[in-house]
Structure 1
Amino acid sequence: MSETDLEPSAAKDNSKPAHKIPLFGREFHMPRSRWLRVAIGVGLVVLGMFGFLPVLGFWMIPLGLLVLSYEFHTVRRQRRRFIVWREKRKRKV
């Protein structure tokens, strides 16, 4: 038996795997296109600044930064620092 007989879907899809965002114990899939992920992240941050309006909310800013952290190392570094800080604080309590 060849690999294509065992896993037909893996043989057909040679592109990179989709990014996943772990959030509240669940994983959410992001689009495969880099420019679309950046556009979604920037859009969430910009629209989150209008959080005082109905429907939009300030919750969109951290979500947009989370999406952008998978594309830009400066945002990723800040996310990792926050996670380390939160874990250290959790251990103290």
Structure 2
Amino acid sequence: MTISLFTTGRQYPYERQTFTRAAGFHDTAKGRLKITTGKSMPSQDQNEEAERQRRMELLIGRLPQKIQDAVNWLLVPERRWVRIPAGILFLAGGMLWFLPILGAWMLPIGILLLAEDIPWLRHLSGRGLAWMEREHPTWLGLKG
């Protein structure tokens, strides 16, 4: 028996994770079912990353098409050599918020770009996106 843990139609890194009765559940001596961690069962980190990716897709989907294309181009794993300097420049521009054109709006963009390559920023961006979904769902295009 195979059970799919994710039922959305979007392609996320951990969407097709499944587990079998033998790997995920074992009958105990008393006939109860006990959940165990089988090899193919997704971990909490994988679930958090899948949720972060889902929220990122919702946020990117709210942008104009040209900006969506640019962001999606930057988020391709092979574009790390462009993404990291761009993220650093956005963070630096955000620190100069008092100057014209530059501003605090650049900080979250820099964090989201760098989060693709730096694990502790990935956790921070995941928490920020979760807060955004909880407190301001319309920012992600969800109904409040």
TM-score scaled by length of structure 1: 0.62
Deviation of 1:49 after TM superposition, in Å, equals 0.5
Count residues in correspondence.
Answer: 73
Deviation of 1:36 after TM superposition, in Å, equals 1.7
RMSD between aligned residues: 2.6
Q: Distance in 2 between the 1:24 and 1:49 partners? A: 27
> In 2 relative to 1, CA 87–51 (structure 1 residues): closer, same or farther, beyond 3 Å?
same
Structure 1: unaligned runs, 5 residues or longer: 1-19
Runs of 4+ in 1 over 6 A off after TM superposition: none
Give the 3-state SS of the residue equivalent to 2:104 in structure 1. Answer: coil
Deviation of 1:24 after TM superposition, in Å, equals 5.6
Correspondence for 1:65 among 107, 111, 118 = 111
Aligned to 2:134: 88
- After superposition, the C-alpha distances for 1:61-93 in whole angstroms (9 at most, x for unaligned) are 1111111111111111111112223333358x7
- After superposition, the C-alpha distances for 1:28-76 in whole angstroms (9 at most, x for unaligned) are 2217431221000011101211110112111111111111111111111
Find the structure with the greater CA-based Rg. 2
1:55 and 2:55 correspond: no
Q: Distance in 1 between the 2:106 and 2:121 partners? A: 15
Q: Name the % identity.
A: 29
Aligned to 2:17: none
Structure 2: unaligned runs, 5 residues or longer: 1-55, 138-143
> In 2 relative to 1, CA 90–52 (structure 1 residues): closer, same or farther, beyond 3 Å?
closer
Correspondence for 2:62 among 4, 18, 25 = 25
Aligned to 1:38: 84
Q: Distance in 2 between the 1:41 and 1:90 partners? A: 24
Q: Distance in 2 between the 1:90 and 1:40 partners? A: 27
One-letter code of the match for 2:95?
A: M
